Chains A and B, each alone.
Chain A
Amino acid sequence: MRAYLAKRLLWTLVATWITVTITFLLLELSPVSASEAAFIDRQVQAGMEYEAAAELYDRQLGGGGTATERYLDFVVGLATLEWGHSTTYNRPVVDVVADAWVYSVQYVLPATVVAVVVGFAIGLYSATHQYSAGDYAATTLAFVGVSLPNFWFAVICILVGGVWLGWFPTHYTTDVPGLLSLANAHQLVLPTFVLGTAAIASQARYARAESLEYVRADFVTAARSKGISERAVAVRHVLRPASVPLATVLVGDVLGLLFAGAYVIEVIFGIPGLGLVSYRAILQGDTSLVLATTLIPVFVAILGNLCQDVAYTLLDPRIELGEGR
């Protein structure tokens, strides 16, 4: 098991390195060069006007030295949290990110927890009551849920809940007593709801599909033959074994879904989280900030994958014998 974890840890590092390298190559090959951005950043920080800095860069063509040097600079910069200077906010990128993340986490985290719990419950119910009316209703709703474009759903929710009914604010404001205040919770209802819907639907579909693999398993019949309750059968003998494959989709899929959902939701509701910061950065051509805000979800996902591997070893006793996947 220790060897397996060590292997996965090593792989995480390799994956991070490959990711960083791919990003660097994407940057190098694109019209928007990283070294240019970095160069301009330095000049701006040194007190030069942005335009003047850009001009200077153009004159000194390829100001960052050879490709190898630029690559090393890039990797070292990322590793040492020297993520450059944001022209949009006129502050170091790291500071901007440090201020923004809490606004994202405050509603993404609750939405995730709700989505996993509710989604699994619905999926398990569907699987154990396959072809019942409840199953049909749940699978249809799940289909609708995964097909709803969440940016459009957010607009509809604002229209109904904010404009027509007037129950919830249509825009997020940081002008509240605190992140834990009731007012803040109130204005987060719609964003959390929109984000949660899609995630619940996709979780329910996965949970149903995986649980179905076990609903007819021999050991479920065997468990039933012991005389334990149907609920114990469902939780202990269907959900528990299904949680092993579910753990693998959980991280990759849910993180991707939630991050992407959060991005548009923050733009729509005006929540000053990482999504909105990234959006502004893209609109402003603020490459350093764009890089940071798109790479952070990637790094979180890589870390999530590592956590998933650890969870895997805890969930599946057979793993310690085998190779892993």
Chain B
Amino acid sequence: MTSDRTTSDPLLEVDDLRVAFHTDAGLVRAVDGVSFSVGRGETTCLVGESGSGKSVTAEAITRLTPSPPGEIDGGTVRFDGEDVTRATDSRLRELRGNRIAHVFQDPASALNPVYTVGAQIREAIRAHRDVGKRAARARAIDLLDATGIPEPATRVDDYPHEFSGGMKQRVCIAIALACDPDLLIADEPTSALDATVEAGILDLFAELRAAFGTSLLFITHDLGVASRIADRVVVLYAGRVMESGPASAVFDRPAHPYTRALLACRPGVPGGSRPIPGSLPDPVDPPDGCRFAERCPHAIAACRDGEHPARHRVGDDDHHVSCIHYEGNEGTELGPPPGEGAAWPAWSTRAGGRDE
């Protein structure tokens, strides 16, 4: 892929990452040549439907992909200049939790039910810091306090089942922050929570980012969430990057038909929410050409041939789209789909609702 990135020296650079799963049905290429980067102190959002390869990408960064059946079979993941895909196991353990930490989707299952939350925070601390039990406990209490858990000094000895869902996720975030990581990878951290709790957790992420200076890779299927916290947005579909760029550019001037469709199917869009017709392509035997072609109102015969469309720049920002319609006319925008006319919602206005 091209290397025309404007952000100098990004913290994380994922280049042409490929992850495959061996299943009974055949080889599933869940992530098939994904490239993006996370700048220092930046928040990058990976967005896409479920099954688009977001979570697989997130796990592959620190090689948490379960193997077998999973396998990272191509590409590089550069963290702070170091290729993580080639790191030794012990080097990998030094990175995990210490410099790159994860927050998972479902806090109820991400916490081990048989240990107190304090023990689980201490485990993360003592994996990387040579501190005594007491110091680790004190740090655990501080972390619980920082993540907004009331009475942290007593709660530290409680078991996960004694916390509510939102509180559990705060504990998970406390664990992730235990060693003051440079990069926090949050995989749909609010999807399992109630909408009322979600806002609190998102605020917490914003707060912590400011306080700890952590870079954030945030994975979500919810464009509303992405628009609230993202600096950059990477749109995935069927294991491939469709569009990427600064959040303002992507939300204000979505270029790829898929991004537009995603924005259009959000609830509360003027003119009514429009679901995307069809479903994800067969993961074992994906179609040639653009994988979204089957569902794309702009699709032409050329879309269904050859390789995944090349990246094209849109506008003047670092805004790129993988769509055949932008070939040769970089910088211009695609019009409404033929025959759709005004029914297609206007994307020149802010559809993402970042101002709410």
Query: A residues engaging B (CB < 8 A)?
Result: 130-131, 216-219, 221-230, 236-237, 240-241, 244, 315-318, 321
Decide if A317 touches B97 in the complex (CB within 8 Å): no
Decide if A244 touches B114 in the complex (CB within 8 Å): yes
Given A217-B109, A221-B104, A226 contacting B96 (CB threshold 8 A): yes
Q: Could you say which residues of chain A place their CB within 8 Å of the CB of B175? A: 222, 226
Decide if B114 touches A315 in the complex (CB within 8 Å): yes
Decide if A224 touches B112 in the complex (CB within 8 Å): no
Decide if B159 touches A225 in the complex (CB within 8 Å): no
Of A130, A223, A225, the residue contacting B62 (CB under 8 A) is A225
Interface membership of B5, Cβ < 8 A: no
Q: Could you say which residues of chain B place their CB within 8 Å of the CB of A221? A: 59, 64, 66, 104, 110
1/0 per position for B153-192, CB-CB distance to A under 8 A? 0000001010000000000100100100000000000000
Decide if B128 touches A227 in the complex (CB within 8 Å): yes
* Residues in B22-58 with C-beta less than 8 Å from chain A: none
Given A241-B113, A317-B114, A317-B159, A227 contacting B104 (CB threshold 8 A): no
Query: B residues engaging A (CB < 8 A)?
Result: 59, 62, 64, 66, 68, 89, 92-98, 101-102, 104, 106, 109-116, 123-124, 127-128, 159, 161, 172, 175, 178
Q: Could you say which residues of chain A place their CB within 8 Å of the CB of B92? A: 227
Q: A171 CA to B87 CA in the complex, in Å?
A: 59
Of A224, A315, A318, the residue contacting B159 (CB under 8 A) is A318
Decide if B112 touches A223 in the complex (CB within 8 Å): yes
Instruction: Pick 24 A–B contacts, CB within 8 A, sort by A.
Output: A216-B66, A218-B104, A218-B106, A218-B109, A219-B109, A221-B59, A222-B110, A223-B112, A224-B64, A225-B62, A226-B97, A226-B101, A226-B124, A226-B175, A227-B92, A227-B96, A227-B124, A227-B128, A228-B97, A241-B112, A241-B114, A315-B114, A317-B161, A318-B159
Top 8 closest pairs, chain A to chain B, by CB: A227-B96, A227-B97, A226-B97, A218-B109, A225-B102, A226-B124, A317-B159, A219-B112
Q: Smallest CB–CB gap between B257 and chain A, Å?
A: 35
Q: Could you say which residues of chain B place their CB within 8 Å of the CB of A244? A: 114
Decide if B113 touches A224 in the complex (CB within 8 Å): no
Q: In the complex, given contacts A225-B97, A230-B89, what are 20 additional A-B residue pairs having Cβ atoms less than 8 angstroms apart?
A: A217-B109, A218-B110, A219-B110, A221-B66, A221-B104, A221-B110, A222-B172, A226-B97, A226-B101, A227-B97, A228-B123, A228-B127, A237-B112, A240-B112, A240-B115, A316-B113, A317-B113, A317-B161, A318-B113, A318-B159
Q: Smallest CB–CB gap between A319 and chain B, Å?
A: 10
B121 (CB) vs chain A CBs: closest residue? A226
Q: Could you say which residues of chain B place their CB within 8 Å of the CB of A240? A: 112, 114-115
Q: Could you say which residues of chain B place their CB within 8 Å of the CB of A237? A: 112
Q: A223 CA to B97 CA in the complex, in Å?
A: 9
Q: Could you say which residues of chain A place their CB within 8 Å of the CB of B110? A: 218-219, 221-222
A321 (CB) vs chain B CBs: closest residue? B161
Q: Could you say which residues of chain A place their CB within 8 Å of the CB of B104? A: 218, 221-222
Q: Could you say which residues of chain B place their CB within 8 Å of the CB of A315? A: 114
A241 (CB) vs chain B CBs: closest residue? B114
Q: A293 CA to B113 CA in the complex, in Å?
A: 42
B102 (CB) vs chain A CBs: closest residue? A225
Decide if B102 touches A316 in the complex (CB within 8 Å): no
Decide if A222 touches B114 in the complex (CB within 8 Å): no
Q: A230 CA to B94 CA in the complex, in Å?
A: 13
Q: Could you say which residues of chain B place their CB within 8 Å of the CB of A236? A: 112, 115, 123
Decide if B127 touches A219 in the complex (CB within 8 Å): no
Most buried by A among B95, B112, B128, B175: B112
Q: A131 CA to B68 CA in the complex, in Å?
A: 8
Most buried by B among A227, A236, A241, A244: A227
